[in-house]
Amino acid sequence: MYSMLSWDDMCLVHAIADAGTLSGAARALRVSHPTAFRRLNRLEQKMGVRFFDRARDGYTATAAAEEVSALVRVLKNDVLAVERRIAGRDLRPSGTLRVTTTDTLLFGWLSPGLGEFRSAYPDIRLELVVSNDVFSLSRREADIAVRPVHTPDQSLVGRRIGTIVQATYMAKTLAAQADVEPKSSIDWIGPDESMAYPAYERWLEQEGLVDLCRTRVNSVYGMLSATRAGLGLSILPCYLGENDPQLIRVGGAVPSLATDLWILTHPDIRKTGRVRAFLDYVAGFAETSHFDLVE
């Protein structure tokens, strides 16, 4: 029985296969590089099997390692499914609820609603994950996501709670100094490549403004800050721009940049008391705090 693989052994093999390097696997497992190295050597000696072809640029999984890694992936998914089903049996509006949303939605719209929610449900502890990255609800990185998205993941459930309308804005101080008609007479602020905002880029190209986009930022909130500083015109969500006393809108909404806002969760936990309470509350809050603020 000594030669049998333990769960820790399998996780080590999976981590190395997934990362492609021993250092990457050590970080994922939260152990030191020497510890991971010793554990792998002991495992290969114990099993009499070479799990990886080792080279200076990384570790390549053998057929044995690929088989173990595939099994770990299946087992982890099974464990997560059981956790979600168990969590879904809790019908009381209490416990910890992990919610992910973007920085701009939290800052510009959602915060007052969260305060009201906490007052209404004091037994629910909120954990807010503020990130522009997409968190996996199926892997329970978060319980609920409030995000702008055109087509939600089909494995999730939820509802569309509004449409985020966008328009052109500039700083009032800049407007006092510049002639913004036509709009091609002033610099523009846009997203950089890391932001992955193809709709904005297409709009800039269609309007012939790419060469005038002399400031690039990696987040919408960063674009808002740059616009306040008078670096140029930018397209911003109206829930940010209309409520900012430092900004002025230039023209009407940009229809091609409107985005649906969704609140999403995993079907296994949608009937959990705290999840259901949050879904219903935020949907109601969205109805009373409209995103379409441009006439």
> Each residue of 232-281: pLDDT tens digit?
999 999 999 998 999 999 988 999 999 999 999 988 888 888 998 999 99
Residue listed under structure tokens 């000696």: 45
Minimum mean pLDDT range among 95-99, 129-133, 165-169, 276-280: 129-133
Q: CB-hemisphere CA count at 13 Å for 231?
A: 18
For the chain, the structural domain boundaries read 7-87, 89-164+259-288, 166-257
**pLDDT confidence bin for 1, thresholds 50/70/90:** very low
Q: Which residue has the higher pLDDT, 76 or 174?
A: 174
CA angle 104, 166, 115 (to 5 degrees): 35
Partners of 223 in the beta sheet?
A: none
Is 136's pLDDT higher than 60?
no
Where do we find the tokens 């900004």?
247
- Region 283-294 average pLDDT: 73
Q: Per-residue confidence at 2, pLDDT binned at 50, 70, 90?
A: very low
| Mean pLDDT over the full length of the chain | 85
Task: Cite the DSSP H helix spans in 218-267.
Answer: 220-228, 238-241
User: What is the DSSP pairing of strand 188-191 with strand 213-217?
Assistant: parallel
The residue behind tokens 């030669």 is 3
193/78: higher pLDDT: 193
Rounded CA-CA distance 266/227 in Å is 37
Around 9, how many Cα atoms within 13 Å sit in the side-chain half-sphere? 17
Around Cβ 254, how many Cβ atoms within 10 Å?
A: 18
How sure is the predictor about 294, in pLDDT bands with cuts at 50, 70 and 90?
A: low
CA atoms within 13 A on the CB side of 35: 12
| Res 266: pLDDT | 87
Please tell me which residue, 16 or 179, carries the higher pLDDT value: 16
Report residue 98 as tokens: 């992990």
Tell the CATH superfamily of the 89-164+259-288 domain: Periplasmic binding protein-like II (3.40.190.10)
Instruction: Confirm or reject CATH 3.40.50.11540 for domain 166-257, answering yes or no.
Output: no
Backbone phi and psi for residue 252, each to the nearest 5 degrees, phi listed first: -95, -165
**177, pLDDT greater than 90:** no
- 200-238 per-position pLDDT tens digit: 999 999 999 999 999 999 999 899 999 999 999 999 999
The mean pLDDT of 156-167, rounded to a whole number, is 90
Strand ranges, E, within the chain: 52-55, 58-61, 95-101, 124-130, 144-148, 157-164, 166-171, 188-191, 213-217, 234-237, 247-253, 259-265
**Percent of the chain scored above 70 by pLDDT?**
87
- 65 has pLDDT over 60: yes
CB count, 10 Å around CB of 218?
Answer: 15
**pLDDT score at 28:** 87
What pLDDT score does 56 carry? 83
What predicted TM-score, i.e. pTM, was given to this entire model?
0.64
Closest CA to 252 of 243, 242, 261, 260: 242
Does this chain's domain 7-87 share its CATH topology with 89-164+259-288? no
What distance in Å separates the CA atoms of residue 190 and residue 223, rounded to the nearest whole number?
Answer: 7
Query: According to the model, what pLDDT value does residue 124 have?
Result: 92
CATH class of 7-87: mainly alpha
